A and B are shown apart, each in its own frame.
Chain A
Amino acid sequence: MELSYWWILPLAAAAVTITAWLYRPRRPPKTRPIAHGERLTALPEYQQALRRHRTRLTLAVALGAVFLAATATAAARPIHRTTEQPEIRNRDIVLCLDVSGSMTSTDAAIAAVFEDLAKEFDGERIGMVIFDSSSVQLFPLTDDYQFAAEQLTQAKEALDSGAGSFFDGTWNGEGSSLIGDGLASCVQSFPGTESGERSRSVVLATDNFLSGNPIFTLEEAAALAADKKVKVHALNPGDMDYGGQPDQPGALLKAAAERTGGTYFTLDSPDAVPGIVKEVQETEATSYLAAPRVVIADAPDWPLGVALIAGTGMLLLGWRLEP
């Protein structure tokens, strides 16, 4: 507990002193002279009443002092200063979707999940990149969640139908599913090269089924991501077909993802996507805490409460003191 305007207190004390000095009784109060006061003052009833009167006066003075002190304290704005370390959501997420024919249903599920998530985002930025033989940035990192949600809805619909102008520009390269290039463009869509305060993650949905000759191999793209401190969370819907050798597409993808500090999931069906995305969110959520921050909160309840009680007491006493 401390005071924001501590100088109010000496000011209030000075004001009280000056007022008391200004209104000091300059001449003795006008009373009527009487003789043989013992006619009244000798009575035990009077003595008793006098004691009561004195007690009340003392109490009134004390209450007045408490009232003044409490209101002065309230005027000085008492505050609670606490240090807290809030969990802040300053992640950047880029959805990196392989839109080759085999992936559309998974992509649609991911888009749907992020469409829902975007409604709850607060501080996060989300971007989306689709790729096949070449990559297209659907929308850059943004915190305009309404826009993002709109884009995601459109993406979801297009992915569901699997046709239309949505996929324009993804076949400009040679081959298809140039995953290394796609991941590299996703990584490039984070601004700057040095890692800032914001955490970066890429949700990469691909079966890692490469056909063609990419400029970046998956390993190079993963190295680039690790360089920029981008975590790659890979979702693979087609990891059940090829044994357990380390040069399998799934194993390669897993190695790439884990190299960047990310995670690797295999998907049995698009229905599993929400659970996985949630898991990704949770692994991310705990790890980011903002710098300790001082939080200042007004705490006028005590002085004002005391002032209220003292004021009420003064009113009651004044009522009793008034003849």
Chain B
Amino acid sequence: MPSLLRRVKSKMFIFAHRRTLTLLDGEYGSVFKGRSLDFDELRAYVPGDEVRDIDWKATARHGSPLVKRYVAVRRHTVLLLVDTGRNMAAQALSGESKKDIAVHAAGVLGYLASRHGDDVGLLHGNGTESRFLAPRSGEEHLERLLREVDASASLDGPASGIAEQLDYALRYLKGRLLIVAVADEFLPDTRTETLMRRLRGRHEVLWLTVRDAELAAGPAAEITAKPGSRGQDSTDVGTGQGIPLPLAVDAKVRAAYRAATIERERRRQDVFYRLGIAEEQTTGSDDVLTSVFALLEKHRSRAFTARISTKGGSRAG
């Protein structure tokens, strides 16, 4: 089996320009590297760095932008919280397996973290059991995590239940973590929402959603879908129920589905907005990098506002 991490890295390097990569680096750094008052060093500005970290005096002296670096407050721990239930073995919007996209996304984030010397852990599982791999640094460890994700999600495994993993994290994991959850387009029920709120209170939570396959394929979706996925009946991996193709292309059903999808998406966004969790969606492995970047960006702006408001004395979210 070829190295999953290498695959992730090669995709990062091939599909992302170097510029984007450094941008991602800077983004990660400014999101997860905390700031302390202990000045460490000055270094050249990298796109993605916080503008307010720029040492303007030093920049004026030096001629090019320099940012202040501080000694990190503490050693960071990134926890990849990945759904590896049966649902994740199903098709994503791009026609790939959602699991592959989850592996890719987890790989990108883990790699960024390991470049910054942070520990990366994994909490994954399905509706019946959760598995925790303790955070550790190093690319070998990251590779192990990715393989674990890749091997766990299969079509004949138990169904998904992200609430179990959230519960596990709340029960057993101490200390403040940077949690990056990778799950599919589920609609959080009350319990899940409560767990997410509590998790959000205790840790920093980022949420990456792998979008699910289009069910009633419209003409627009057929173009983006893989050629093989057209003209096929579907089977719901959750219930085992089949969806015959003739029904999925029925104009009336499609119209109703479109309306229902918009409504569902609105409700999901509402949940994440209420909880104050930065959420971004990815449709396939092609736009994982973009999504991760957008997620970090979103989280940073929200964290920033949160920090400002904390300074102001009131707690947001």
- B261 x A39 contact (CB < 8 A): yes
- B247 x A35 contact (CB < 8 A): no
Pick the residue among B184, B248, B257 that contacts A36 (CB under 8 A): B184
Across-interface contacts of A29 in B (CB, < 8 A): 233
- A45 x B234 contact (CB < 8 A): no
- Closest A residue by C-beta to B255: A45
- A323 x B249 contact (CB < 8 A): yes
List 25 A–B pairs whose Cβ atoms lie within 8 Å, in order of A's numbering.
A32-B229, A32-B232, A34-B91, A34-B213, A35-B237, A35-B238, A36-B185, A36-B186, A36-B238, A37-B239, A37-B243, A38-B239, A39-B215, A40-B216, A40-B243, A40-B257, A42-B260, A43-B256, A45-B252, A45-B256, A46-B253, A46-B256, A49-B247, A49-B250, A53-B244
Q: Closest CB-CB distance, B19 to chain A, in whole Å?
A: 35
Across-interface contacts of B98 in A (CB, < 8 A): 35
* Residues 223-244 (chain B) with a chain A CB within 8 angstroms: 229, 231-239, 241-244
Q: Which residues of A contact B (CB under 8 A)?
A: 29-46, 49-50, 53, 321-323
- A41 x B245 contact (CB < 8 A): no
Across-interface contacts of B243 in A (CB, < 8 A): 34, 37, 40-41
A32-B233, A39-B261, A50-B247 are known contacts; what are 9 more A-B pairs with Cβ within 8 Å?
Answer: A35-B98, A36-B87, A36-B184, A36-B236, A36-B238, A37-B239, A39-B212, A46-B253, A46-B257
Q: How far is the CA of A44 from the CA of B259 in the complex (A)?
A: 13
Q: How many residues of B contact A (CB 8 A)?
A: 45
- Closest B residue by C-beta to A57: B244
Q: How far is the CA of A201 from the CA of B260 in the complex (A)?
A: 98
Across-interface contacts of B84 in A (CB, < 8 A): none
Q: Closest CB-CB distance, A284 to chain B, in whole Å?
A: 74
- Closest B residue by C-beta to A321: B246
Q: Closest CB-CB distance, B89 to chain A, in whole Å?
A: 6
Q: Closest CB-CB distance, A312 to chain B, in whole Å?
A: 20
- B260 x A43 contact (CB < 8 A): yes
Pick the residue among B234, B246, B257, B261 that contacts A34 (CB under 8 A): B234
Max chain B Cβ within 10 angstroms of own Cβ: one of A37, A41, A45, A322: A37
Q: Closest CB-CB distance, B180 to chain A, in whole Å?
A: 20
